Every structure is written in structure tokens, then in C-alpha cells.
Homo-oligomer: A and B are copies of this chain.
């Protein structure tokens, strides 16, 4: 039996879990706020890991999911939009000084893909794409049974491919990206625009409130037959299908996994997605044997990916 610690770091919360190889569920899980008063996030992280450290002190390694691109070889966070103080932060060295065990790190979306591949919906597929559709659209890729992150750790940003040249501005500042038309935020914004333009709906929302429409309200209205809400999911599904056709031309995977909050409403947009995919695919070869499924690990995907990474790291040593 070996023991590993997996950590999933977000801009708001960070979570650590202690796993042993003789049981699938974690022995301990702890979650804390990433920030507290004047304590810097790196100290919060150290405290979190120390709080779940086992009494017998025997830990083989730590795997960490970071919300931004990393340099896995150097063990540094390159940049994290929600943790600006971590630009070029040598997190692996920092933790090794205290805990004296190997530390591996990865980008959170890439590790979510790794988690789904090792423990979830991706088992058995050596070429797969994972899209997490929530506030934004993130992605992770497994190619030839290995996580892929490009030459400098910035790949893959599949939410940031152009699908509508004159479309809305994306969070990244470029117009017409997939994230800008098919994320949860984009669905909510489109419904709000339609209501402001006079569209009828069963959703109860006050345009003067300044609040966005919750995705759950749109999904519930769509399930009850509200035409505007149904149209919103169809629209997102069409863009996803169009983009997935290009991803198949690009990567020729055997599996596409849809995760994130929006994927919980997959039945509301699956037909639109598949129709757009059929329309935009250049050859049926790319669809032969292809599966499109929803993720299985939910919010645990990044944590489970960090665990897989920690185990890969110590298997090598």
C-alpha cells in the first residue's frame, strides 16, 4: 500500500485528499478557502497539506492541479489568472522544502481529463478530448495514452477556437470563440438578450435586476417546454457540434467527454450537437467508433487527475 496526497487549487477554494492504493475513496478530504485575511495562498496550501498528513508520515508523493498553465519539468506555475501572485511560482520546490516528497503539478483542465481517463468516463480510450462547459469552456486532451499540453504547457485551449467570426467577445478578448457562444455564461447572456428584445419565456427574471439568469433556471424551463430556453440549448449545441467536427479533423480521437455544469443538461442539446456534427464532418471515417459521453467524476475530476499524476510520478522513481 502506498499513500498519495492530491490537491485541487482554485481561485476561491482549495481541496486536498489523502489516498491509499488499497481503496478507491479518499481516506481524508479537506477543503479550505484559498485566501484568508493577509495569509498568502501558498501558506494556506502548506497548512492544508499538513492538516491531512498521515500520522505515520509515509507519503509517496503529492499531485497538484493548478488553475493555469504550468511547467511540469521545472515544477513552476507559469500563470494563474485567479492567483496573480503565483506567476512563475516554483510551487514544487516550495512544497518539497517542507514535505520532502516528490511533487508533480498540472493544469486543472488537463488533470480533469487525466482523472476521467484513469478513473472515469475515459477508461480504455488512448485518444480522447475532454471539454468542461461551465462559466467558461476548458479542455484537456489525452493523446496516445499521455496527457498533452504542447511545447510550453499552454495547450489545449479548445474553448478558444473561432466558431463565429462576428460573434460576441470572449472572456479572452477575442471575438467569436466557442466559449463566447456555448458556455453557461454565453447561454445565460443570450437568453437575457432575447428577453430584453421582447421574447416570451416561462423563466421568471427581472431584466432590471442586473443579475444574470441562473443556468439551472434555464435548464428547468427548457425541461418544462419553454421554447426560448430550448432554443438557447439548441444554439449552444449547434456551436459545440460544429467545433467538435473540427476537433475530430484535428485529433481523430475515439472519445469526447463533456463535463462541467452545462453537461448536466446534455439531453437538452445532444440532438442539436449531433446534427451539427454530421453537417460539419468532412468524412464519416471520423465518426466511426466515436463516442460522445458526459463526464463521470464531476467536481472530483481535477483532484482525481492530481492523484493519477502523483501515482505516475512515483511509479517512475
Contacts and interface: CB of A to CB of B under 8 A. Distances in A.
Interface of A: 69, 78-79, 126-127, 143-144, 146, 148-158, 160-165, 170, 172-174, 177, 242, 245-246, 249-254, 279-283, 285-286, 288-289
B249 A161 contact: yes
A286 B78 CA distance: 13
Contacts of A253: 150-151
B79 A254 contact: no
A153 B172 CA distance: 33
Contact of A282 (B157, B251, B252, B285): B157
Q: A144, A151, A152: which has the most chain B beta carbons within 10 Å?
A: A151
Q: Number of copies of this chain in the oligomer? A: 2
Nearest to A289: B152
A250 B158 CA distance: 6
A250 B174 contact: no
20 contacts: A69-B285, A78-B285, A143-B143, A149-B252, A152-B285, A154-B285, A155-B250, A155-B252, A157-B282, A158-B249, A158-B250, A161-B161, A161-B246, A162-B245, A162-B280, A164-B165, A165-B165, A170-B282, A174-B245, A174-B279
Given A174-B282, A280-B174, A252 B151 contact: yes
Given A127-B151, A155-B251, A162-B163, 8 more contacts: A150-B251, A150-B252, A151-B254, A154-B252, A154-B285, A155-B252, A174-B281, A177-B282
Nearest to A153: B252
Q: A158, A173, A253, A283: which has the most chain B beta carbons within 10 Å?
A: A283
A66 to B, nearest CB: 15
Given A162-B163, A174-B282, A152 B252 contact: yes
Contacts of A170: 282
A172 B127 contact: no
A302 B197 CA distance: 56
Contacts of A254: 151-152
A78 to B, nearest CB: 8
A125 to B, nearest CB: 8
Nearest to A283: B172
Contacts of A146: 144
A7 to B, nearest CB: 24
Contacts of A289: 152
A174 B246 CA distance: 11
Contacts of A245: 162, 174
A242 B254 CA distance: 27
A150 B127 contact: yes
Contacts of A158: 249-250
A250 B79 CA distance: 18
Contact of A157 (B144, B165, B172, B250): B250
Contacts of A242: 162, 165
